[in-house]
A and B are shown apart, each in its own frame.
Chain A
């Protein structure tokens, strides 16, 4: 950690560029250096005291009356489950950035932000690829180094589209973070308009991070328009970073004039490859050796094949630890991981079919038989009932009445094994199988 500290200022020269104030558009010579290495994102082991302050962990640290949570924050973990608190999703660790992709992302982010004329940026990527974590970390670094270098302060404002009841509430949230007061949106908007449109005074740079951009798009798109139009004023000294999942959101959802303002500075976060996931899990585990290396690899490979979502990988690991704990074993082996995977990627439908009553199972078979006979997926209750009668008499059951069968049908519809369209139209209702026929065959193979 000493080593990291001594190397920090050098990096900060580049990192600080965003928030330098150069009214004349010129910059001090030291800023011109072409260095772009960011090797100082050190290991989790020496970073644990300075885990970024998400509000939650900050509260924990400050509150001395709950010794338990304070212990968590210091991460003096001995048992696997305590160690696993480190795996807790949602906590951003600096090591997230040690991966290549994010590093590249950060570099371009910095380059983008370098001269704050270059002001709008769009970051996209599938969920769980570290978009918000990377942006938060870049800003955290900027702030830390700004203090160290006695650089003028910059204001960091964060809004999340998901947390707003209505797009215009964005103004209120921004105002609150600037002034600390809650006012109606019109008032907030007028203040912001004055602040960002008119020249005057020595304004500090404002960095605005807009998470979940797609939630801010209403029909009029006035909020998005304003957020992206302010930076175009030189006086605004505003950097806007927008984050969303969809890669082609600007083309798909936004109006032409908004897309034009958003610009082409875009950055896509790719899904994690299995190697990166492995690295993330390993670094999150720190020095803990109770987790089998092969087990980590299995988790990473399984997740990378489906979504490349880091949260998911960490989730499965945590579950595997819980399984191991329940079996009172100190180490997590492949077996535990496989159990956890089976739980999480299990097919609940097969189990649901197995748990059905005998007549319900026969009814499902009747649905398949009827759709095979007619050749179309969508069948009517009448046709199914005919098949149902045949099938149940073959297997030696008494045939339920139509009312009983409708009841069966309603039950299956309620647990979503079949879809009954317009269930009010009784015997003429249309029925669609909501599970694959193979699943039904597989579930019932020993009963046939």
Chain B
């Protein structure tokens, strides 16, 4: 087999439809944005109008993560016609050192000469540059603008006042997640109508839009046969109902392809002679069942819970969870401190004739359970006084534990609660 490895990999590639689909469903930036035509048209309209009238505009775009805000703006910014009309600056506000440093970044982008020494100098440089701007308007995009939120919002106010101050030069676009950032934090802008930014909301993608996006991506790669419409609808419906985040939809789509590919290759008899030879797997369309399996493993807790508690979950941790359940179910006082839980746990262990761990070890045990997200520990000054709350649904846990003999036994052991005689 050594000669084979020495050859250069052949240039012409044969990519299986699974791999192709996986590549097409990537969540990196794209120029093709189905489902956002309306918003893009509106934005372009606003920009064109502003250019025609030569009047400054401020704009605030909001929407949940993964709804294509930045992608839409990037698409507009990369339009050659826009390049002719505007001088464009894109600043991602996560990239700045402190809130005030945003001036420095903008002035650097504006090509201010010399290194301004202070915030004030930078601000001055920006304002000078804006005044000097005659032929082109400046299109300033501030992504993740909520990073600029500070104590007094001095920076945000200054920035949002620019469009009025330089009424012919600037189009300001702020992007963030929260719907009411400008109302909530910039109340003073409301007193002056001309200062108020124009609001635009990117709603979460609907089922139709998500399936449209997925279909288009798959068609681009020529692998639309892989996902029958029914499965796509199912996937889109589920994601749209939960978050409407297209990154998530693409992610799950990729996962489904991966799982399908794995099960496909598992069916193949593995023999060593096969290795050099490649084969293209036939396009077996993905069944709705496969989609559901992946969706459940992503969103369902009770299923993973069942699987977790089966074998690999350490016994002492199981007993710990059961003790919490016992207190929650059988005791009037439902407030659980670590000290109290340990007392109950010790009695349970005694009853089951299992050796119990001591308190310091038990504290460690609790934090191990916490890393799985089952409980949350509210830290107090003393370890004994830490408060423990069950994070998963009580019913879910009980159902998952129900038919296990050990658990049933613990849940009936009311005497372990240690009522005072």
Contacts and interface: CB of A to CB of B under 8 A. Distances in A.
Q: Are A and B part of the same complex?
A: yes
Interface of A: 6, 9-10, 12-13, 20, 22, 25-37, 111, 114-115, 117-118, 124, 126-127, 148-149, 186, 189, 193, 220, 222, 225-226, 229, 231-234, 245-248, 251-252, 256-257, 259-261, 263-265, 270-271, 273, 304-308, 345, 347-349, 372, 375, 377, 419, 432, 434-436, 438
Contacts of A114: 19, 22
Interface string B237-279: 0000000010110011011001001101100101010111111
B377 to A, nearest CB: 12
Chain A to chain B: the 4 pairs with minimum beta-carbon distance, closest first = A28-B9, A34-B265, A248-B373, A260-B65
Interface in B11-55: 11-16, 19, 22-23, 26-29
Given A118-B254, A304-B314, A222 B94 contact: yes
Given A126-B368, A260-B66, A264-B248, A34 B342 contact: no
B147 A220 contact: yes
B114 interface: no
Contacts of A307: 314, 364-365, 368
A27 B15 contact: yes
A232 B144 contact: no
A247 to B, nearest CB: 5
Contacts of A25: 23
Nearest to A37: B270
Contacts of B280: 32
Which of B277, B314, B339, B372: most chain A CB closer than 10 A? B314
A305 B251 contact: no
Given A34-B265, A36-B265, A271-B314, 18 more contacts: A25-B23, A27-B19, A29-B13, A29-B278, A30-B278, A33-B275, A33-B278, A111-B262, A115-B22, A247-B372, A252-B373, A257-B65, A260-B245, A263-B251, A264-B248, A270-B308, A305-B314, A372-B420
A247 B245 CA distance: 21
B2 A9 contact: yes
Contact of B5 (A9, A259, A273): A9
B161 interface: no
B97 A186 contact: yes
Nearest to B382: A419
Contact of A349 (B147, B358, B382): B358
A260 B247 contact: yes
A11 B173 CA distance: 51
6 contacts: A26-B15, A32-B19, A234-B29, A247-B373, A257-B65, A264-B251
B275 A13 contact: yes
A148 B314 contact: no
A106 B1 CA distance: 25
B384 A124 contact: no
Contacts, number: 185
Contact of A29 (B10, B66, B251, B258): B10
A26 B42 CA distance: 37
B371 interface: yes
Contacts of B79: none
A143 B373 CA distance: 35
A123 to B, nearest CB: 13
A306 B278 contact: no
Contact of B15 (A32, A118, A260, A438): A32
B102 to A, nearest CB: 12
Nearest to A125: B371
B370 interface: yes
Contact of A10 (B26, B95, B275): B275
Contact of B343 (A225, A257, A436): A436
A308 B343 contact: no
B97 A436 contact: no
B19 A233 contact: no
Contact of A28 (B13, B308, B343): B13
B67 to A, nearest CB: 10
Contacts of B313: 271
Given A27-B15, A247-B371, A347-B358, A34 B251 contact: no
B359 interface: yes
A189 to B, nearest CB: 7
Given A111-B262, A247-B371, A419-B384, A257 B177 contact: yes
B311 interface: yes
A117 B14 CA distance: 18
Contacts of A377: 339
A413 B418 CA distance: 26
A349 B384 CA distance: 14
B315 interface: yes
B382 A222 contact: no
B65 A256 contact: yes
A117 B262 contact: no
A436 B314 contact: no
B371 A245 contact: yes
A29 B276 CA distance: 9
B346 A438 contact: yes
Contacts of B279: 32-34
Interface in B57-80: 64-66
B255 to A, nearest CB: 7
Nearest to B101: A186
B95 A189 contact: yes
A261 B313 CA distance: 30
B258 A111 contact: yes
Contacts of B342: 436
B316 interface: yes
Given A126-B371, A260-B247, A35 B384 contact: no
A149 B9 CA distance: 10
A261 B66 CA distance: 8
Contacts of B281: 34
A377 to B, nearest CB: 8
Given A260-B248, A263-B247, A225 B94 contact: yes
A27 B104 CA distance: 44
B1 A265 contact: no
A9 B1 contact: yes
A10 B384 CA distance: 56
B208 interface: no
Nearest to B280: A32
A33 B274 contact: yes
A349 B298 contact: no
A259 B275 CA distance: 39
A234 B24 CA distance: 12
B357 interface: yes
